Amino acid sequence: MKSGTRRKCSTCCSDGQQYNYHPSKEIFHHLFKRQYSGTCTNAQKIVNDYVSHQAPGLMKEKEYDLGSNNKVFASKWLDDKQVVFGTKCNKLMVMDVYTGRNIQIPSLKSSDESTPADCPCGIHAIALNPSESLLATGGENTNDLAIYMLPTFDPVMVGECSHSDWIFDIEWVDDEYVLTGSRDSQLALWKVDNLDKNESTENTSLQFPEYTIKKPEVVKLCDKAQKVRALCFDYNRKELGVLSLNAYFHIWDVESFSPVSSRKLFHSRENVCMAVSIDKTMYAVGSQSHINLVDPRSPNTLTTVISKYRGGGVRSLSFKEDILTIGTGVGHVLFFDVKGGKYIETECGDVCSLKVAKGWLLHDENYREFFMEHLYPNAIYTHQYDHTGTRLFTAGGPLPAGLWGNYAGLWY
């Protein structure tokens, strides 16, 4: 485990319109009004806005040793000290962010009825249900769904016989129902029932408790989609945003599990990640060189944001208050102020950019023959804020498919 120095100013200067919103002034005005009127209206939002704007410029990095694991694709915070992540080599790991210690969680096996996908490519998604009592991810067969109980990681269920190709993303609708989107262009709806033991596996022992094998409630093809890549659920509107690799953005009604609309995105290369802001009724869709901000209520894209590092593409996105955090394919994390319409800047006027550590790279024969002459910074395939919004877990690995390596760090 390594400790980094504090982040320096990026050399990439910002452009865009002037923005006069200052969270520190909002806090001053709030304190002034509270002193004389006794009201505390909207206090938490003001503080959250302030933290969201100021935290990126103050962060320093702690890098972690992940051994020889290959590329972290997905992650979630479990609590204040633990992060769970999934790798391209199909390992589900739990890490203590204070000690750096990793524990591997056994993958859940499917039944003989399940046909594994060709060329399995690891764990692409991890999702917690609203009560954070269940975790959903990929199984040993990467086209099947695995459900674990939290915090013990006891196996609960394997969902199979729905997808013929990798599961790319997972979204919980509520504590009982979960959705999967796959490279086979289909969406599946599953019901998780801890009490249903009628179809338990034969693979039971003291070391490996029994779990349920279930088939989906319903499977539907996502029309116009060529490989479902990302899902986002807006629980206020009961709608599912679906991103497909052929640059279509789809809206599905979750209650009827039926399509509502589809639109072709203007930036059509490498549409691999998406995030939703429920407060703003807005989806952010990443591509090779841009981020599209989409309003599902309007047929037109709201805003197009040009990525500051366009070569490696946008690999992960998340909303926190007014800030859109952007994980790039070239080792930088950026912060875009949606309300102000510009990238967050440092005190010296440059774009605030977190440059991640170099991680670990396997120097095998493939590397020596094809990649040795070039440097390959880590793609940030996943990033997650803790519940306070003051710590950011970032992870990934080298962008080229032929390279084996990993990176993980904590910004605090």
pLDDT of amino acid 47:
52
Report how far residue 279's alpha carbon sits from residue 357's, in angstroms, rounded to the nearest whole number. 33
Same domain flag for 78 and 132: yes
- Report the pLDDT value the prediction gives residue 221, as an integer from 0 to 100: 98
Please name which of 133, 61, 150, 125 lies closest in space to residue 97, comparing C-alpha atoms: 61
Quick one: 140 and 172 in the same domain?
Answer: yes
> What is the structure's pLDDT at 309?
83
- 44/69 same-domain check: no
pLDDT of residue 41: 55
Do 249 and 137 lie in a common domain? yes
- For residue 122, what are the CA distances in angstroms to 155, 270, 336, 347? 19, 19, 30, 41
Residue 371 and residue 320 in one domain: yes
What residue ranges of the chain have pLDDT lower than 50? Answer: 1, 5-21, 24, 27-28, 30-32, 34, 196-202, 204-206
| Backbone phi and psi for residue 366, each to the nearest 5 degrees, phi listed first | -60, -40
How confident is the model over 180-207, as pLDDT tens digits?
A: 999 999 999 999 986 544 444 445 444 5
pLDDT score for 350: 84
Q: Is residue 6 part of a domain?
A: no
Residues 119 and 28 in one domain: no
Classify residue 3: in a domain, yes or no: no
Answer yes or no: is 70 within a domain: yes
- Measuring CA to CA, how many Å separate 48 from each of 32, 389, 411? 18, 8, 18
Please report the beta strands in 98-143, taking only residues with DSSP state E, as ranges in sequence order.
102-105, 126-128, 134-138
**Would you tell me the crossing angle of helices 43-54 and 23-37 to the nearest 10 degrees?**
160
Q: What is residue 29's predicted lDDT score, i.e. its pLDDT?
A: 52
Using an 8 Å Cβ cutoff, are 130 and 144 in contact? no
pLDDT value of position 42? 58
| 272 and 313 housed in the same domain | yes
Structural domain includes residue 12: no
Q: What is the pTM of this model?
A: 0.85
Give which of 218, 210, 93 is closest to 154, Cα–Cα.
Answer: 210
Structure tokens at 411: 């910004």
The domain of 147 spans 61-411
- Is 46 contained in some domain? yes
> What pLDDT score does 372 carry?
86
Task: Kindly report the CATH number assigned to the domain that includes residue 404.
Answer: 2.130.10.10
Q: Are residues 53 and 145 in the same domain?
A: no
Mean pLDDT of the chain: 87
- Answer yes or no: do 242 and 303 share one domain: yes
Exposure string of 85-95, with b = 16+ CB inside 10 Å and e = fewer, is: bbbbebbbbbb
Based on the domain organization, do 99 and 242 belong to the same domain?
Answer: yes
Count of domains observed in the chain: 2
Q: Does some domain include residue 92?
A: yes
Q: How much is the pLDDT for 210?
A: 87
In a domain, 192, yes or no: yes
